[in-house]
Amino acid sequence: MGVLDLTGSGAKPLEPDDPRQIGGIPLAGRLGSGGMGRVYLGVHEGRYVAVKQVLPSIAGEDQDFVRRFGHELDNLSRLPAEATAPLIASDRDARPPWLATAYVPGLTLSEAIGLNKGPLPVGTLWFLLREAAAGLVAVHELDMVHRDLKPSNVMLTVDGATVIDFGVARATEQSQLTRSGMVVGTPAYMAPEQATTRRDLTGAADVFALGSVLAYAAGGSPPFGEESGPAVLYRIVHEEPDLDAVRRLDPGLADVVAACLAKDPADRPTAAELVRSATEHGPFTAPLWPESISGNLAGKAAFAAHVQEIELPPPVSVATRNLGRKGRPKFRERRRRTRVFFAVVPVVVTLGGATLAVQLLPWISDADGTGIAGPSATATAPAEPTASPSGAGPSGSASPEKSPTDKQKDENDEKDGGGDKEADGSAGPSQGAGDAGGAQDGSGGSDGSGAGGSSASGGSGSSGGADPGGATTPSGTHRYRNGENGKCLAAPYNGYPATGACDGSGTVWSVRSVSGGSFQLVHESGRSCLSAGAGGVLLLSCNEDASRQWRAGSGGTFVSVGTGGCLGTGNGGGLLAGSCSGAAAQRWTAV
Residue 3's pLDDT is 66
Residue 534's pLDDT is 62
Q: What angle do CA 273, 162, 18 make, to 5 degrees?
A: 155
Per-residue pLDDT at 294 exceeds 50: yes
In this structure, which CATH number among 3.40.190.80, 2.60.40.10, 1.10.510.10, 1.10.260.40 belongs to the domain 107-301?
A: 1.10.510.10
**Same fold yes or no, 12-103 and 465-590:** no
Amino acid, single-letter form, for residue 373: A
- Top-confidence range, 248-252, 318-322, 489-493, 568-572: 248-252
Per-residue pLDDT at 401 exceeds 90: no
- Are the C-beta atoms of residues 568 and 578 closer than 8 Å to each other? yes
DSSP structural state of residue 50: E
Amino acid, single-letter form, for residue 116: N
CATH number of 12-103: 3.30.200.20
**pLDDT tens by residue, 8-42:** 898 999 999 899 999 989 999 999 887 678 999 99
Per residue, what are the HEC states of 519-583? EEEEECCCCEEEEEECCEEEEEECCCCHHHCEEEECCCEEEECCCCCEEEECHHHEEEEECCCCC
Residue 293's pLDDT is 94
Residues ≥6 apart with Cβ < 8 Å to 380: 343, 361, 362, 363, 436
Residue 202's pLDDT is 92
Per-residue pLDDT at 279 exceeds 90: yes
How is domain 465-590 classified at the CATH fold level? Answer: Trefoil (Acidic Fibroblast Growth Factor, subunit A) (2.80.10)
Radius of gyration of the chain (CA): 27
Q: At what angle do helices 271-279 and 251-260 cross, to 10 degrees?
A: 170
**pLDDT tens by residue, 484-538:** 999 999 886 444 688 888 988 788 899 999 877 899 999 887 767 898 876 678 8
**pLDDT tens by residue, 339-373:** 444 433 343 333 333 333 333 333 333 333 333 33
- Identify the H or E element spanning 465: strand 465-466
Dihedral angle over CA of 9, 12, 15, 20, nearest 10: 0
Following DSSP, what letter does each residue of 303-343 receive, concatenated?
A: HHHSPPP-PPPPPPPHHHHTB-TTS-BS-SSPPP-EEEEEE
Q: Average pLDDT for residues 451-458, to the nearest whole number? A: 38
Q: Average pLDDT for residues 393-418, to the nearest whole number? A: 42
- Domain borders along the chain are 12-103, 107-301, 338-431, 465-590
Question: Which of 58-67, 253-262, 492-501, 563-572 shows the lowest mean pLDDT across its residues?
Answer: 492-501
